[in-house]
Amino acid sequence: MSDLDRWLDGRLAEIDSAHLRRRLRTIETAQGPVIERDGRTMINFSSNDYLGLASDPRLRAAAAAAIERYGAGAGSARLLCGTQTPHEELEEALARFKRTEAALTFATGYAAALGTIPALAGPEDVIILDKLSHACLVDAARLSGATIRIFPHNHLEKLGRLLAWARENYAKANVIVVTESVFSMDGDRAPLREIVELKDRFGAWLMVDEAHGIGVIGEHGRGLAAELGVGDRVEIQMGTLGKALGASGGSICGSRALIEFLINRARSFIFSTAPVPSAAAAALEAIRLLDSGEAEPLRAKLWMNLERLNVDARSAIVPRMVGDESAALGLSEKLMENGLLVPAIRYPTVARGRARLRVSLSAAHSAEQIDRLLAALTFPERAP
């Protein structure tokens, strides 16, 4: 055994003792409300496929047609010869859908964050993040070298104080406020209208990750910024193609100047092979379904399913708080024994002692499947 392996075994033992070990488990079927995993049939409450589009025949057909015409891979980075017609059409559709001047797609949402934030901020600048911002946003802020400040989750008073501090101490800096619209582990929403007012007052820019809002919230699923009527005041709108849209990839929507700048300065875009054209074609079909209104029955079904849980859901994510990591893991395993796949979310995804089960609902779930979950797992009753 090498010195490296001895060191790694020691660290893995520490992870095991804290009940934080994670393992890959293969799903043997397509994404859907019922899956096969480890040879067992389970009802899937772990996916972010909120509208059930990942296996939708219309997206399958679009992807298959793109493979037939454009091949399996893009072959190169976008700035060399990797940009193909589906990439261009998808970005035009995203900009129309989000009502922005332009859009740019990335291989993943993580890559979108890692390319965008360091391109816009450097060591002389300030980034202010919500404490519960996704890891990709935190990592991107660290990579930028900017001064980072954190405000408690959705705490507007503290955000205001930090903006005032930034303007007093970094008068010429780019100041960027970063938040999610729907928070990925708690399922709650940012007070986005108030955040927009604050950033405008102090001359800051705002980056909003709409990963869990797109397809779910707002007119035709345009997201929380659109629902609140502040989309034109959010300078950087980040999104994903791999959750409610049923495909894969990430996106940034904003002004044409922003997109042109990212094409020239976002390293995760410049130095990555382009996403496969079939994924772009599938995402384009999902955008078409949403923008045309054809996906409205799916969105209505999703919210009806959330109503059936009898919780005050603000999104498709419903956490069931547990606290202790070992207890959360045990509860998840017990549910799996009953044919229900509900993941235990533990540190470092959430804070220590804040472990929970994360239930994700889909338009594809049936009433009977939700009733099986309710029979096995209690939720706090909705406040009157």
What is the band of 133 on the pLDDT scale with cuts at 50, 70, 90? very high
Which class for 74: exposed (0-12), middle (13-18), buried (19 or more C-beta within 10 A)?
buried
Q: Tell me which of 133-142, 253-262, 314-323 is least confident.
A: 314-323
Residue 379 has a pLDDT of: 81
Q: What is the pLDDT of residues 64-81, one digit of tens each?
A: 999 999 999 999 999 999
How would residue 384 be classed by pLDDT, with cut points 50, 70 and 90? very low
Retrieve residue 272's tokens. 């990555």
Tell me which residue has tokens 């708690």: 186
Active site residue: 44, 46, 47, 48, which one? 48
Q: Which fold has domain 57-292?
A: Aspartate Aminotransferase; domain 2 (3.40.640)
289-345 pLDDT, tens digit each:
999 999 999 999 999 999 998 888 999 999 999 999 899 999 999 999 999 999 999
- Mean pLDDT to the nearest integer, 127-147: 98
Choose, from 184, 248, 315, 362, the residue flagged as catalytic.
184
Instruction: Give yes or no for residue 86 having a pLDDT over 60.
Output: yes
pLDDT at 85 over 80: yes
pTM: 0.94
Helix (H, G, I), strand (E, B) or coil at 36: strand
- Name the pLDDT band for 381 (thresholds 50, 70, 90): low
Choose, from 209, 210, 227, 285, the residue flagged as catalytic.
209
More confident residue, 39 or 161: 161
Residue 383 has pLDDT above 70, yes or no: no
Query: pLDDT, tens digit, for every residue of 350-367?
Result: 989 999 999 999 999 999
CA–CA separation, 308 and 118 (whole Å): 43
| Residue 14 reports pLDDT greater than 90 | yes
Over residues 270-279, the mean pLDDT reads 96
- Sequence spans of domains, the chain: 19-51+296-376, 57-292
Mean pLDDT, the chain, as a whole number?
Answer: 95
**Is 285 a residue of the active site?**
no
Query: Is 134 marked active-site?
Result: yes
87, 98, 134, 220: the catalytic one is 134
Is residue 155 part of the annotated active site? The answer reads no
Q: At what angle do helices 85-98 and 57-70 cross, to 10 degrees?
A: 140
Catalytic residue, chosen from 87, 243, 301, 365, is: 243
Secondary structure class of 238 (helix, strand, coil): strand
Report the pLDDT averaged over residues 178-194. 96
In what order do the strands lie in the sheet containing 34-37? Answer: 34-37, 40-44, 340-341
Domain covering 19-51+296-376 assigned CATH 3.40.50.300 in the classification: no
State how far the Cα of 54 lies from the Cα of 205, in Å rounded to an integer. Answer: 34
Catalytic residue among 91, 125, 180, 227: 180
Structure-token pair, residue 244: 């409610």
Q: Known catalytic residue: 209?
A: yes
How far, in Å, CA of 371 to CA of 80, rounded?
A: 52
- Is 212 tagged catalytic? yes
Which residue among 199, 212, 220, 365 is the active-site one?
212
Structure tokens belonging to residue 130: 């919500």
- Share above pLDDT 90 across residues of the chain, in percent, rounded to a whole number: 91
